């Protein structure tokens, strides 16, 4: 079987890396195509996980529109599909790359496998455009690798046949454990981690913050910054915020939080450095989906700055708290965890135990 893995963003690369390495152990012909919907952040992950793509479409352009990106992906992926003629194209999650590559493969009669299938908010504007991307991909996919029971149920409710759904857990947990084992080796050297160790007061309670969602641009990020300013008045905390490079995020965050005591604004870090930061943190404030999945395996509570999440398992199990971008709710939730008024217990991670890629591989071997 000839398999083409196709992805374009840093989160996709992280979550596809374990599957890539599992597939490379077999007799399958495995090729990788990156669209480079992200560029620098993607390259960092490819280097760390030792992935050398056969095809790099290098589509990243400043301020490109979603329609422009979509059209370019559809146009350029044709060359790869025509040349390789894979039996199966595997895409991941909910990016523009995933939905457009799945559409292009469908147009050419090529089977599509969808990793991290079945996540839903059923609100097409939140997250935007990811919710529609994953619904489109589900309509196009032939094989659905779901991370959780709820994701499986979503697909069944939408009419996907049970025989085409394989529940595996999330490959991001595989990637997290792989990364932890690597960075904890005595001979592992990472200049970023060394720099962070010297610049961040590790004797305080570290609040790790991330944010990038389009629906939070403007007032959402302004409210988050106001909440962080209030929390930074505490002497027992330090806030570490790797600031997303999108101007809609960066300008607001730096205008409100730069040169403030107890707040460390840093440039985006590589994946291993970010995993190290998560491990050092006391709690995490984020609008990221992947972090909601990773943090439970590290025993870290998560405050999610979104009003709805396609990952409700974390909320139900007590790992995550949905607060939206309400300044008061963000402050109250952070304070409750810091003061231990809200007790967080490390429970089993509802998103998997680190063998998702092996389960996907087993299915593919059994059905070759």
Active site residues: 94, 116, 130, 212, 214, 244
Q: How far apart are CA 118 and CA 94, in angstroms?
A: 10
**Residue 111 CB neighbour total at 10 angstroms:** 16
| Angle, helix 10-23 to helix 356-366, in steps of 10 degrees | 50
Nearest to 146 by CA among 155, 137, 158, 135: 155
How many residues belong to the chain? 368
In DSSP notation, 325-337 reads T-HHHHHHHHHHH
Identify the three-state secondary structure at position 350: coil
| Angle, helix 356-366 to helix 171-183, in steps of 10 degrees | 130
Do residues 21 and 29 make contact, with C-beta atoms less than 8 angstroms apart?
no
Rounded (10°) CA dihedral 133, 139, 141, 142: 170
Instruction: Give how far Cα 149 sits from Cα of 152, 298, 322, 351, Å.
Output: 5, 22, 21, 10
In DSSP notation, 81-96 reads HHHH--SEEEEETTSH
């Amino acid at each position: 079987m000839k398999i083409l893995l196709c992805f374009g963003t840093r989160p996709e690369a992280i979550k596809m890396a374990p599957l890539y390495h599992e597939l490379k152990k077999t007799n399958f012909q495995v090729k990788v195509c990156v669209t480079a919907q992200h560029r620098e952040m993607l390259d960092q992950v490819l280097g760390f996980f030792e992935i050398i793509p056969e095809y790099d479409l290098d589509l990243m352009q400043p301020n490109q529109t979603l329609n422009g990106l979509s059209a370019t992906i559809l146009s350029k992926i044709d060359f790869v599909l025509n040349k390789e003629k894979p039996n199966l194209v595997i895409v991941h999650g909910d990016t523009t790359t995933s939905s457009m590559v799945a559409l292009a493969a469908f147009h050419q009669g090529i089977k599509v496998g969808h990793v991290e299938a079945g996540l839903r908010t059923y609100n097409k504007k939140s997250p935007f455009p990811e919710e529609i991307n994953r619904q489109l991909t589900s309509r196009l996919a032939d094989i659905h690798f779901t991370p959780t029971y709820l994701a499986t149920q979503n697909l069944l409710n939408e009419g996907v046949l049970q025989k085409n759904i394989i529940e595996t857990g999330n490959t991001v947990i595989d990637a997290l454990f792989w990364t932890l084992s690597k960075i904890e080796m005595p001979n592992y050297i990472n200049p970023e981690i060394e720099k962070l160790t010297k610049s961040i007061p590790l004797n305080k309670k570290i609040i790790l913050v991330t944010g990038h969602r389009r629906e939070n641009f403007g007032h959402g990020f302004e409210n988050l910054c106001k909440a962080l300013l209030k929390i930074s008045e505490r002497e027992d905390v330090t806030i570490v915020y790797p600031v997303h490079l999108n101007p809609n995020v960066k300008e607001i965050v730096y205008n409100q939080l730069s040169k403030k005591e107890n707040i460390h604004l840093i440039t985006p870090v590589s994946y291993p450095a970010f995993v190290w930061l998560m491990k050092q943190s006391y709690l995490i404030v984020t609008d990221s989906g992947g972090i909601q999945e990773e943090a439970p395996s590290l025993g870290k509570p998560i405050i999610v700055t979104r009003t709805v999440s396609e990952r409700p398992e974390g909320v139900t199990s007590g790992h995550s708290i949905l607060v939206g971008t309400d300044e008061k709710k963000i402050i109250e939730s952070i304070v409750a965890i810091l003061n231990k008024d809200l007790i967080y217990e490390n429970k089993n991670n509802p998103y998997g135990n680190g063998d998702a890629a092996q389960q996907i591989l087993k299915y593919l071997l059994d059905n070759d």
